[in-house]
Structure 1
Amino acid sequence: MQELSTRRGLAIYLLAWLFVGCALGGVISLASDTPLANAMLFAIPMNLEYAFAAGYSAYYLCRAYPLGSRRGGAIAVVLTMAAMVSGFLWLIIGNLWNALCLLPGVAWSGIDITPQLSVLVVVLGVLLYGFAAAVHYLLTEFVRAKNAEQRELESLLMAQEAELRMLRTQIDPHFLFNSLNSISALTSQDPKAARRMTLELASFFRQSLGMEAHKKVTLGEEMVLIRHFLAIEQVRFGERLKVEEEIGEGAAACLVPPMIIQPLVENAVKHGICNMPEGGTIRISARRAGSILQISVANPVDEDMASIRSDGHGIGLTNVRQRLAGAYKHEAGIHWGRRDNSFGVDITMPAQTSEQGE
């Protein structure tokens, strides 16, 4: 692809110079009553030769004097001197080429180089050299901007991967500690429940580790992780923890950043169910509305915890907001707040599927 772009750029460059050569030939023919064929045979080969000579000269000169590395005045003086020298050299080459055209046997192809034409060639050579230098500077800045954009994108991806690893290591230590304590207690009281909780815990961490290799996972895969998490917590809380899911068929196939909902469900347990003696129901819903995916997590909370979380001080909420901004910029958003006796978090993001790509 890069080779194709280079060839295309070279073709455009030569076509531009060919157009200038044709224009110069037309001017010579009109201004001096020279036959058009003679003027074109003089102007076009000379112009194409200057395209390579001035192009390479300007390329190396622009690399030797990059913008921003020296004072603008010094660069202007160097480029002006190089352009004037190139203009006079171009005139000399033109005279030599015209002399070849006037050799015996091919005299029909020569032209009369007048003082006015000599001045025109020098001035045009200076202008074309300046044009070539300007093109090289523009291309250099364009490549620099593209490289900077690529580095920024790579840094963003690395940051997102680091955030995911950090999120995995930030899984509430109390969750693991309490789970192990519950398993220990259940070992003597209810061995089957202890075994079930151990298997769910292993499945949870296996699933979370597997997500690290992917930039996006389907909502269905994310929900598998959440179900493992909630199954562990339901062994701990028993009847106090109830779960309601409402995942639309179109929503389940949509891609989401891995572990983007799990922190919200973890918060729902930690800040909601855990602080309510009577427990409650965590409601998880997702639906696709055209090109938008809407996800909601709601749980009952007491008065104090609702006020703390509504201020936006939760680590999980902040992490989710930053990851959404990194993945979708302004196309995604997260909102949270108290609703009567419950606390709700709503996420909106582009509805992407595996067929559409990322």
Structure 2
Amino acid sequence: MEHPVTANKISGLIYWFFPVAVGIIQAVFNSYYQILPVTIAFIDGLTFYLVLGLLGIAVWYVVRYNDPEKSAVIQILVSHIAAAVVFTSLWIVSSGIIVKILINNPLYDQYLNDLITERIIGGIVFYILLVSIYYTYVFSQHNREKLLRESEWQNQIRKTQLSALKSQINPHFLFNTLNSIASLTLTNPEKAHGMVIALSDFMRYSLRKQQDDMVTLEVELRNIGLYLQIEKIRFGNNLLYRFDVEEACNHHLIPNLILQPLFENAIKYGVYETSKPVEVILDARKFPNAMEITVINDFDPESVPLKGEGVGLANIKDRLWLVYGSSRLLTIERGNTRFSVTMIIPDIAESIH
């Protein structure tokens, strides 16, 4: 922990302002009331309080040695009583010697002897005040460090949770794709071969981007394009899709792999449950301070079970909350034949990490 006086120029200036100011005030008082000649009054006042300031800097090390978080109360009290005696004695003796070297005046010797009691009391009071200020600084630094540790800990927890949520995506998708490949090897080996190649491209791309917390929408859509190529092999002409994206949205940062569960959901409840062609539409619009992404798909109300939102949408809700700190960024709407999911992606995503 840095010394509060030497930590920066401002704290040093504030610290030295007080002993200099008190020394000048005392000198003015003594000279005004003719207790001491002007020259002697200023030498006395400035010498005593500059020495007091120098000794006060050393008091910090007594405070650091007697940290309340590491030392017993009795030890702290004994240490500070002893230090206060040494501090006051050194102050009065050393200051007196310096002034006597500078001034050889019997009148001043008498003045010094008359003020000995007041200066002992003043030295002890100054020591107590200074120790109180130093301990206030120590407590504030401990509290600041504690808050920083808690913040870092929360960030680590958040990153761990995000990684766990992200890791749920690929295994779920791989399970479905490998099942499809297994089926196609029996019914259509050529399609199975094409799906293996498409899956290889998708996984290569995903692994390269796996460590990125945030990617641009353009990059994420490229990833979704590879994913949809695989699903297109599975469903053929029954799966139609298009992206309607404003140019300004392409470079907007979004959480990595967050769109895939939306398309998985659309295919699962739209394409998978009907023999008719189903169109999946992604619409991205830029607004001040945010981007809105909507994924829409047709569905057959007679075939689709209406209960639940599925693991994918719950995963997205959790990730949006962890990244942006809001639970209101995902909206789900179900019409008679259309299902839509809308995400709001704020501009500032890095501030929570």
Give TM-score, length-normalised by structure 1. Answer: 0.78
- Which residue number corresponds to residue 141 of structure 1? 139
Cα displacement string for residues 148-167 of structure 1 (whole angstroms, at most 9, x for unaligned residues): 34333433443344344433
Aligned-partner Cα distance in 1 for 2:112–2:228: 92
Aligned-partner Cα distance in 2 for 1:317–1:98: 80
Note if contact 2:324-2:349 (Cα within 8 Å) is conserved in structure 1: no
Mapping of residues 326-345 of structure 1, within 5 Å: 326-330=322-326, 333-345=329-341
Report the secondary structure of 2:258's partner residue. Answer: coil
- Which residue number corresponds to residue 262 of structure 2? 264
Shift of residue 173, structure 1, vs aligned partner: 4.6
- Which residue number corresponds to residue 101 of structure 1? 102
- Which residue number corresponds to residue 57 of structure 2? 55
Shift of residue 51, structure 1, vs aligned partner: 3.1
CA 1:118 to 1:333, structure 2 compared with 1: closer, same or farther past 3 Å?
Answer: farther
Report the secondary structure of 1:349's partner residue. Answer: strand
1:66 to 50, 65, 68: 68
Is the counterpart of residue 240 in structure 1 residue 229 in structure 2? no
Report the secondary structure of 1:348's partner residue. Answer: strand
Aligned-partner Cα distance in 2 for 1:307–1:212: 32
CA 1:79 to 1:167, structure 2 compared with 1: closer, same or farther past 3 Å?
Answer: same
- Which residue number corresponds to residue 177 of structure 2? 179
Note if contact 1:91-1:122 (Cα within 8 Å) is conserved in structure 2: yes
Percent identity over paired residues: 26
Note if contact 2:62-2:83 (Cα within 8 Å) is conserved in structure 1: no
- Which residue number corresponds to residue 271 of structure 2? 273
Note if contact 1:218-1:253 (Cα within 8 Å) is conserved in structure 2: yes
Note if contact 1:156-1:326 (Cα within 8 Å) is conserved in structure 2: no
- Which residue number corresponds to residue 308 of structure 1? 308
Aligned-partner Cα distance in 2 for 1:337–1:76: 68
**Range with bigger deviation, 216-225 or 260-269:** 260-269
CA 1:205 to 1:97, structure 2 compared with 1: closer, same or farther past 3 Å?
Answer: same
Aligned-partner Cα distance in 1 for 2:27–2:88: 21
Shift of residue 201, structure 1, vs aligned partner: 1.0
Q: Which amino acid is 1:349 matched to?
A: I
Shift of residue 123, structure 1, vs aligned partner: 4.3
Q: Which amino acid is 1:212 matched to?
A: Q
CA 1:77 to 1:320, structure 2 compared with 1: closer, same or farther past 3 Å?
Answer: farther
Note if contact 1:242-1:282 (Cα within 8 Å) is conserved in structure 2: yes
Q: Which runs of 5+ in 2 are unaligned?
A: none
CA 1:353 to 1:81, structure 2 compared with 1: closer, same or farther past 3 Å?
Answer: closer
Q: Which runs of 5+ in 1 are unaligned?
A: none
Note if contact 1:42-1:97 (Cα within 8 Å) is conserved in structure 2: no
Cα displacement string for residues 153-189 of structure 1 (whole angstroms, at most 9, x for unaligned residues): 4334433443444334323656324423433554576
Shift of residue 40, structure 1, vs aligned partner: 4.1
Give TM-score, length-normalised by structure 2. Answer: 0.79
Aligned-partner Cα distance in 1 for 2:41–2:8: 25
Aligned-partner Cα distance in 1 for 2:267–2:175: 15
Cα displacement string for residues 172-209 of structure 1 (whole angstroms, at most 9, x for unaligned residues): 65632442343355457656543432222112222222
CA 1:342 to 1:98, structure 2 compared with 1: closer, same or farther past 3 Å?
Answer: same
Q: RMSD over aligned Cα, in angstroms?
A: 3.8
Aligned-partner Cα distance in 2 for 1:47–1:333: 62
CA 1:38 to 1:244, structure 2 compared with 1: closer, same or farther past 3 Å?
Answer: farther
Cα displacement string for residues 32-53 of structure 1 (whole angstroms, at most 9, x for unaligned residues): 2145554444344543443343
Is the counterpart of residue 283 in structure 1 residue 296 in structure 2? no
Mapping of residues 171-250 of structure 1, within 5 Å: 171=169, 173=171, 175-186=173-184, 193-250=191-248
1:126 to 112, 124, 127: 124
Note if contact 1:295-1:347 (Cα within 8 Å) is conserved in structure 2: yes
Q: Which amino acid is 1:343 matched to?
A: F
Shift of residue 253, structure 1, vs aligned partner: 0.2
Shift of residue 124, structure 1, vs aligned partner: 4.1
Report the secondary structure of 1:86's partner residue. Answer: helix
Note if contact 2:51-2:91 (Cα within 8 Å) is conserved in structure 1: no
Shift of residue 78, structure 1, vs aligned partner: 6.0
Q: Which amino acid is 2:204 matched to?
A: R
Aligned-partner Cα distance in 2 for 1:130–1:349: 55
- Which residue number corresponds to residue 13 of structure 2? 15
